[in-house]
Structure 1
Amino acid sequence: MQVEAILAFGGHSEQALKFYTEALGAELIVMIRWKDSPDPVLRTVSSDPEKIMHASFRIGETTLMLTDGIDTLSQPDFKGITLNLGAKDDDEAKHLFAALSNGGQVQMPLAKTFWSSLSGMVVDRFGLSWMVNVSQA
């Protein structure tokens, strides 16, 4: 069994995907807009057929999915979830943290902790919470 997260961006999936591609080097695997659904019924579900019905993308070795959902006017509500990025070293952690902080809000600045040489928390511009930790060997 495999569990994969589906992130619902309430109409902002395309912008989020572009941001994660630039900030984290995300790689798009597949993207389907509502208008391109092979199911004619699903083509009419969204009020905006240009919005994303489903996309998969990879950050490092992790695959995530995203959607604009059906109600593209709603805002994402990511309460109760934080995605962790395991950086290979301090330089990568600083780079990733700075990229995610651009337009976001730092919750805990990068600092040395008892579990990592650098660890920090940030909520990105789309409201998604991230923790950046230098992976310990």
Structure 2
Amino acid sequence: MATVNVYLTFDGNCREAFDFYKSVFGGEYPYIGTFGEMPAMGGQETPETDKDKIMHVSLPISKETVLMGSDTGGEWASHYKAGNNFSVSVGAESKEEADKLFGGLSAGGQVTMPMADTFWGAYFGMFTDKFGINWMVNYDDPAKMQQ
């Protein structure tokens, strides 16, 4: 059975927002990383203005729920709009389930990132469905996550 969480996108104030959420919910970040810490994509270095922005943060807020987020930057920044700055994040239990969910939910919508293996070790993709809802599908392969 897949898990479903909310993924929030910010315009440069993700760390501030998540520090606030953490002050309310408590807990610790299992992961928080900046764009400056990630490897160059397609030979392009991260612009100085984006290096301190949050690439990904997660904050468990219950046994079942993780609040996740990032800042927007680079080519994605022009798409930021308060009100559409969230996605439903689905965690699949297998690569096959991820492909099935991605294919089914993205039908008639707009794929923004096809399912693919990522530098952080997950199998991941993003799209906006035919109703205008942003989705992310993720499968963390236990064999790859242990490397």
Give the structure-1-normalised TM-score. 0.48
Task: Give the helix-richer structure, 1 or 2.
Answer: 2
Q: Greater CA radius of gyration, 1 or 2? A: 1
